[in-house]
Amino acid sequence: MRFPEFSGEWGKYKVSDVLDFYSTNSLSWDQLDYNSDELLNLHYGLIHVGLPTVVNLDENVLPNIKKEFLPKNYELCREGDVAFADASEDTNEVAKAIEFVNLSDKNVVCGLHTIHGRDNHNLTSIGFKGYSFASESFHNQIRRIAQGTKIFSISSKNFNECYMGIPSKDEQTKIAKLLALIDERISTQSRIIDKLQSLMKGLNDYLQDFVPLSYSLSFSDIGEDYSGLSGKSAEDFGSGKPYITYVSIYANNFVEDDCCGKVSVKRNEKQNVVQKGDMLFTLSSETPEEVCYGAVYSGNSTETYLNSFCFGIRNTEGKVFSPYMAYFFNSNRFRREVYPLAQGSTRFNLQKSDFLQKHFSYPSIDDQHRIFEILNAYDNKLKVENQILVHYQHQKEFLLRNLFI
């Protein structure tokens, strides 16, 4: 990507001198829906998750206010207006902002836990403010003034203490266009990854359902089971030896060494160590559908441990091909068969003894190898696409650190 030329001449302004602020409503999610033509409402949760830095309502969707909750007094958003989330559990997310660059002739108001700002002084170009308020220089200021212990917050009065650099309108337009292009490329890359994941999921389910099955085994027939860490408290985590987390098993087919957390394990302490090719499972979840997610350890560490809410099975008998099993665990066929083993009410737990004795059917070892080779090729492609996404994200982060003062 070719970067535009910038002159480097900027003026420094208080944010409160650039923006005028307007009142917002306090409507909660249960007072909104997506099924009407009523007034659109920006909820702070969408600023944190769901909306890009610059919002185009031809592409992005906002909820409507239910008719019975329509406010009597409000200020409609205009193109170029910004909205900040005024609170977060994370100081990095306090004052996270979006800018409306295209309202598409729709009526929008700002809602719960938002701060609605407008440049009535014509100092800024559309699109520039959103990225300026996403910059490291701005958030460094916010982190210093955000108030709270568990929840951090700001108000419009805090913008008297914050400054932003503003170059010429021409420079602003160049900066906004550059970052918008990178955002567009990040969005496109995310869609590529989503499509590839969907394709891979569908192919895995097809192969697991339609390749002929040759034999049936319980996991007790396959190898030995072992438990995760025991006797640990919160103080033991954060440093020490690598251990495989619950989330790493839940989110991956294969768990590699870079997916590990850290735990303190004493020299003579008796804990089970994970070996390459071990099959790893989660024991519990808040929903029965998500109990017993499985993955295979593909790392090379000789001293890696396992989270206490998980268990492992070592493939000692060679009756299945461990890399194939990583895909089998993430198929609909496997999920259908383990679902009845979940028990509980508010939190669901796997009946481990029943799971170890339950028989599952498998294709021949040769077919297991073939299925693995097909799906692993897609997995490798997915890794490349994820690396490309990370590259663009890092590029954007670099620009947000260095383009703004």
Answer yes or no: do 49 and 135 share one domain.
yes
Answer whether 400's CB lies under 8 Å from 135's CB.
yes
295 in a domain, yes or no? yes
Same domain, 87 and 228: no
State how far the Cα of 313 lies from the Cα of 243, in Å rounded to an integer: 16
Instruction: Specify whether the CB–CB gap between 80 and 102 falls below 8 A.
Output: no
What per-residue confidence (pLDDT) applies to 346? 81
Query: pTM above 0.95?
Result: no
Domain harbouring 19, CATH code: 3.90.220.20
Which of 164-178, 322-336, 337-351, 389-403 has the least mean pLDDT?
337-351
- Within this chain, do residues 55 and 153 fall inside the same structural domain, yes or no? yes
pLDDT given at position 314: 96
Question: Does one domain contain both 88 and 204?
Answer: no
In this predicted structure, the answer to whether residue 8 has a pLDDT above a threshold of 90 is: no
pLDDT number for residue 181: 96
Going by pLDDT thresholds of 50, 70 and 90, the confidence category of residue 327 is: very high
Find the mean pLDDT for residues 104-111.
Answer: 96
- DSSP classification of residue 291: S
As for how many domains the chain has, the answer is: 3
Asked whether residue 219 falls in the same domain as residue 354, the answer is yes
Are 15 and 148 in the same domain? yes
**Segment 287-293 mean pLDDT:** 89
The pLDDT of residue 286 is 87
Assess if residue 273 is contained within a domain.
yes
Q: What is the pLDDT of residues 51-70, one digit of tens each?
A: 999 999 999 999 999 999 99
Mean of the per-residue pLDDT values for the chain? 93
Do 208 and 245 lie in one domain? The reply is no
Whether residues 20 and 35 fall in one domain: yes
Query: What average pLDDT does this structure show over 175-202?
Result: 96
Based on the fold, state whether residues 113 and 247 are members of the same structural domain. Answer: no
State mean pLDDT over 201-213.
Answer: 96
- Cα–Cα distance measured from residue 384 to residue 345, given in angstroms and rounded to the nearest whole number: 41
Q: Give the model's confidence band at 3: pLDDT under 50 very low, under 70 low, under 90 confident, else very high.
A: very low
322 lies in a domain?
Answer: yes
Q: Are residues 224 and 280 in the same domain?
A: yes
> pLDDT > 70: what percent of the chain?
98
> Which pLDDT band, with edges at 50, 70 and 90, does 10 fall under?
confident
Residue 97's Cβ-count burial label (10 Å; 0-12, 13-18, 19+) is buried
DSSP element (H, E) containing 332: helix 332-338
- Integer CA distances (angstroms), 320 to 275, 312, 316, 323, 363, in order: 16, 15, 10, 9, 9
- Confidence (pLDDT) at 395: 96
* Owner of token pair 């206010």: 65
Q: Mean pLDDT, to the nearest integer, of 79-87?
A: 95
> Do 125 and 19 share a structural domain?
yes
Residue 383's domain spans which residues?
Answer: 168-213+363-405
**Phi and psi for 54 in degrees, rounded to 5?**
-110, 125
| H/E element, 305 | strand 305-306
- Using pLDDT thresholds of 50, 70 and 90, give the confidence band for residue 379: very high
Q: Is the pLDDT of residue 315 over 80?
A: yes
